[in-house]
């Protein structure tokens, strides 16, 4: 690689809007997760992404009224599994990250909100592949076909849109709780234990602060999956730049801001109730009324990095996901009927064997 090309700043002015060309040779450059730089796929030159700014949070009013549209992106749909994705225009083989097929068509749909920030990939595909292979190896019940699917070539790097919400909450509450106690009575000398409940009223106030509460903004994936591989360093996310997306695809956004904020408030409500109840020693909740005021509500809309793996087993698609920043992995794995059958058989033989031995020595 040429020395003078290295560390040259990669600025917007030099760029075509759709293709990121290497200033050194004109080839295609992608974001390299390990180097945290742009890297040319042809001459291997590297370039800094000029970006010192960190993403800033905005008020909820902004989200509901004047959030920007991501007009430079295009939405594609996979005809095999139905997933909708945002793909790089110049991507040669457009492969669906969820099912691995090339049955992808462009749609007229708008990509929705423009991301404010991006948590860049930190883990390379090779490293993600090693994480997936080790993880699959430990899945005792999984069929061997599944274990083979965890190879790095089959993984796809995908940016996933999430909202993070901050809020200070102030709640007042009143309710009734019950605590159980037991008494012992003797009837004809025999002890009879009886359970009773003593009810008491509660009343008070509670403040709870939430920081970067993460809500999944694409229905291709559910919030629980994202939670399982959280945290993502969303507080340190740099401002959105297309450079970070080079070499990756992105998941579409199809739950709007209002819907995600409602979902978030419901989860916050649950956490507030848990925080209130944690102060009391009780067994039964008769009722609890909580009135909550939300203050300083802020949001940011960011892309977080994931590797998606897929395995088809008995005509069913199984996906697993790796946090592209930390390497945390989650996913459902198919269960091999044969392995379960053999294990049960082995168990029967083992129990039978022990019974025989016990029988033998017992006599
Ligand atoms: Zn080059
Ligand atoms: Zn698909």
Question: Do residues 169 and 132 touch, judged by C-beta distance below 8 A?
Answer: no
Give the tens place of pLDDT for each residue, 25-77. 988 888 999 999 999 989 999 988 887 788 888 888 887 777 777 777 778 88
- Dihedral of CA atoms 262, 268, 270, 275 in degrees, nearest 10, equals -160
Give the tens place of pLDDT for each residue, 116-139. 999 999 999 889 999 988 888 887
For residue 21, the ligand closest to its alpha carbon is 1
Domain ranges of the chain: 1-50, 53-69+117-332
For residue 173, report the distance from its CA to the centre of ligand 2, in Å.
Answer: 48
For residue 85, the ligand closest to its alpha carbon is 2
For residue 43, the ligand closest to its alpha carbon is 1
For residue 29, the ligand closest to its alpha carbon is 1
For residue 307, report the distance from its CA to the centre of ligand 2, in Å.
Answer: 14
For residue 12, report the distance from its CA to the centre of ligand 1, in Å.
Answer: 17
Whole-number Å distance between alpha carbons of 177 and 284: 6
HEC profile for the chain? CCCCCCCEEECHHHCCCCCCECCCCCCEEEEECCCCEEEECCCCCEEEECCCCECCCEEHHHHHHCCCECCCCCEEEECCCCCEEECCCCCCCCCCCCCCCCCEEECCCCCCECCCEECCCCCCHHHHHHHHHHHHHCCCCCCHHHHHHCCHHHCEEEEEEEEEEEEEEEEEEEEEEEEEEEEEEEECCEEEEEEEEEEEEEEEEEEEEEEEEEEECCCCCCHHHHHHCCCCCHHHCEECCHHHHCCCEEECCCCCHHHHHHHHHHHHHHHHHHHHHCCCCCCEEEEEEEEEEEEEEEEEEEEEEEEEEEEEECCEEEEEEEECCCCCEEECCCCCHHHHHHHHHHHHHHHHHHHHHHHHHHC
For residue 236, report the distance from its CA to the centre of ligand 2, in Å.
Answer: 32
For residue 103, the ligand closest to its alpha carbon is 2
For residue 39, report the distance from its CA to the centre of ligand 1, in Å.
Answer: 8
For residue 50, report the distance from its CA to the centre of ligand 1, in Å.
Answer: 18
For residue 44, report the distance from its CA to the centre of ligand 1, in Å.
Answer: 6
For residue 5, the ligand closest to its alpha carbon is 1
For residue 36, report the distance from its CA to the centre of ligand 2, in Å.
Answer: 29
For residue 289, report the distance from its CA to the centre of ligand 1, in Å.
Answer: 64
**Residue list, CB under 5 A from ion ligand 2:** 78, 80-81, 83, 96, 98-99
The tokens for 63 are 């989200």
Residues in the chain: 363
For residue 299, report the distance from its CA to the centre of ligand 1, in Å.
Answer: 38
**Residue list, CB under 5 A from ion ligand 1:** 22, 24-25, 27, 40, 42-43, 45
pLDDT at residue 141, as a whole number: 72
For residue 124, report the distance from its CA to the centre of ligand 2, in Å.
Answer: 22
**Per-residue pLDDT tens digits of the chain, which is 363 residues long:** 343 333 333 333 333 335 578 888 988 888 999 999 999 989 999 988 887 788 888 888 887 777 777 777 778 888 888 888 777 655 545 778 888 877 778 887 777 788 899 999 999 988 999 998 888 888 777 777 777 766 767 788 999 999 999 999 999 999 999 999 999 999 888 999 999 999 999 999 999 999 989 999 888 888 888 889 999 998 889 998 888 888 888 888 878 888 899 999 999 999 999 999 999 999 999 999 999 999 989 999 999 999 998 877 777 888 889 999 999 999 877 776 766 677 777 777 777 777 777 776 665
């Amino acid at each position: 690689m040429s020395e003078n090309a290295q560390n040259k700043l990669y600025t917007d002015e030099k760029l075509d809007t759709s293709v990121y060309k290497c200033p050194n040779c004109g080839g295609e450059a992608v974001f390299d997760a390990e180097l945290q730089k742009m890297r040319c796929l042809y001459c291997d030159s590297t370039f800094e992404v000029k970006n010192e700014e960190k993403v800033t949070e905005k008020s909820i009013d902004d989200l509901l009224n004047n959030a920007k549209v991501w007009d430079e992106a295009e939405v594609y749909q996979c005809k095999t599994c139905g997933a909708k994705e945002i793909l790089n225009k110049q991507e040669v083989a457009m492969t669906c990250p969820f099912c691995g097929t090339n049955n992808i068509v462009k749609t007229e749909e708008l990509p929705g909100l423009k991301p404010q920030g991006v948590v860049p990939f930190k883990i390379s595909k090779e490293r993600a592949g090693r994480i997936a292979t080790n993880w699959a190896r430990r899945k005792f019940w999984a069929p061997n076909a599944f274990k083979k699917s965890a190879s790095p070539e089959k993984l796809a790097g995908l940016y996933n849109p999430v909202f993070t919400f901050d809020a200070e909450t102030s709640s007042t509450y009143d309710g009734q709780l019950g605590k159980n106690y037991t008494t012992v009575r003797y009837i004809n000398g025999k002890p009879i234990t009886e359970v009773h409940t003593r009810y008491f009223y509660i009343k008070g106030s509670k403040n709870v602060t939430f920081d970067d509460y993460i809500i999944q903004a694409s229905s291709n994936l559910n919030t629980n999956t994202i939670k399982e591989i959280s945290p993502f360093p969303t507080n340190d996310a740099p401002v959105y730049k297309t450079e970070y997306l080079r070499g990756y695809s992105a998941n579409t956004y199809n739950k709007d801001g209002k819907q995600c904020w409602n979902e978030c408030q419901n989860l916050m409500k649950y956490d507030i109730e848990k925080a209130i109840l944690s102060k009391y020693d009780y067994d039964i909740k008769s009722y609890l009324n909580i009135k909550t005021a939300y203050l300083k509500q802020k949001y940011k809309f960011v892309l977080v990095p994931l590797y998606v793996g897929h395995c088809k087993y008995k005509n069913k698609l199984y996906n697993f996901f790796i946090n592209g920043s930390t390497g945390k992995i989650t996913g459902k794995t198919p269960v091999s009927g044969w392995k379960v059958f053999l294990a049960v058989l082995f168990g029967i033989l083992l129990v039978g064997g022990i019974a025989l031995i016990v029988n033998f020595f017992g006599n």
